[in-house]
Amino acid sequence: MQKKIQTALISVFNKNGLEPIVKKLHQLNVQLISTGGTYDFIKNLGIPVTSVDNITQFPEILGGRVKTLHPKIFGGILARRQNETDVQQVNTHQIPLIDCVIVDLYPFEETVKSTNDEAAIIEKIDIGGISLIRAAAKNFNDTIIVPDRRYYNEFLNLLETQQGFTQFNDRKKFAAYAFAISSHYDTMIFHYFNQFAQLPYFKESSLNAQTLRYGENPHQKAWCYGNLEAQLEKLNGKEISYNNLLDIEAAVQLIADFDEPTFAIIKHNNACGVASRETIYDAYLTALSSDPLSAFGGILIANRTIDANTANEINKLFFEVIIAPSYEAEALNILKSKANRIILINKIQQLPQYTYRSILHGVIKQERDAKIETHEELKVVTEKTPSDSEISDLLFANKIVKHTKSNAIVIVKNKQLIGSGTGQTSRVDAVRHAIEKAHHFKFDTNGAVLASDAFFPFPDSVELAHSAGITAIIQPGGSIKDKDSIDACNKYGISMVFTGFRHFKH
């Protein structure tokens, strides 16, 4: 049903973008009602406006905490025009009908980010605004609600094209906007209080949605929620895909565990090349040599600035995405030579505390696996103690295996990934796969080290490692048959350390 806007209530915290709407409403002969700073804003534009307290005959009180919370305001918003009793009561109490509400909410989320002053934060919990939004949205049959300035352009276009009239579908759509805003706002307030209460409730919300080209496969629709721009600055390239995002996530999580200059290449969420060297140039060339076949079409990530020499080498490879903290100007020009190549700046200062996954009709949540083992935490369980260089490689390997799909085995030599067994259904198959891959790319596994994401249930993995010349192993331990693997290591002169921490990744 078509409705003509005759009276609009406007009460906003942020006045940006409001002026053209106010002027258009005035041009359409809409009566304006307002309060506080918004009243002054409209009046200063030279546009007639009625104050809320002139209608309610009740002043703002409690330092502005109570402004619009009055039956003469909410009655005008909630009155059902087709309901005879509602109309009779409105007339009896001389309540003006309000068919448009423009309101925003106090910046609670922004205040939480900018201060630890609880009094200031609490004052930014909106009461009147959220009530106006819900009331107008509930009565969408008669009233249109504009709940945030992100919808100003759409509303202004509506006013201009329909000359102050709204259709039923317009009002219902804006009501959906309203409840999106109000539910998000309440979720942010809950998060603040739940830092103290620690209630086991799942409440997450994002008003930033991006439609992706497709999901894992072209026949699947997909969306991304969250403020990607705040974490990754895009300098070049085509639209980031669903699969790109999964690989980017894996790459960022992996590189965050390394301090020295390190380069990694990711394919289907697993590292196919990782190396640490004195320069990022050498780190890239070494990482690429780990598995140049899998690197084709992969995701590249570095934890140091990409210079021109490194960019020239990288430019020889076909890849989807490159991520780095920064790029030299010349390097950026080189990398931009391919228009579709996605170039990102990693701006993430801190990784999220929790991870989420959907399961059937629910969601599971866990703390992010932030554990990084140190030399001091390693427990030598064999007769032979690993050398300092082996310890360095073991810790390096353990960081990689932590980010590899289970069952996972990685083989490392001189801080370079030289072989990996990923996503295998048995641990011994993962060991066999890692060794075969290393040998396929002509790596000498004699003197290499091996990392396992979980314990060895049988000594067969140790026996395979020995056959490949591996001299040191790192694993969590914890099997009832640990002694069998320890005895096998002692038999073959292999050193082995336990970490006490499993790193499954599914």
Catalytic machinery residues: 138, 268
Whole-number Å distance between alpha carbons of 172 and 313? 55
CA distances (Å), 341 to each of 4, 181, 231, in order?
Answer: 51, 36, 19
Instruction: Note whether 234 and 342 are within 8 A (CB).
Output: yes
- Strand spans (E) along 37-166: 50-51, 100-103, 144-146, 165-166
Cis amide prior to 407 (ω within 30 degrees): yes
**Residue type at 386 in one-letter notation:** P
Number of Cβ within a 10 Å radius of residue 365: 11
Number of Cβ within a 10 Å radius of residue 102: 27
DSSP state letters, 192-245: HHHHHH---------S-EEE-S-SSSTTS--EEES-GGGTEEEEE-SPPPHHHH
Q: Please give the radius of gyration of the chain, using alpha carbons only, rounded to the nearest integer.
A: 31
Burial of 139 (0-12, 13-18, 19+ CB in 10 A): buried
**Residue type at 192 in one-letter notation:** Y
Within 8 A by CB and 6+ apart from 391, the residues are: 375, 378, 497
Whole-number Å distance between alpha carbons of 464 and 411? 12
Using alpha carbons, select from 501, 488, 499 the residue that is nearest to residue 382. Answer: 488
**Residue type at 451 in one-letter notation:** A
What's the DSSP call for residue 444?
A: -
- Stretch (H or E) spanning 196: helix 168-197
Using alpha carbons, select from 283, 238, 241, 242 the residue that is nearest to residue 265. Answer: 283
Quick one: CA torsion of 212, 214, 215, 218, rounded to 10 degrees? Answer: -170
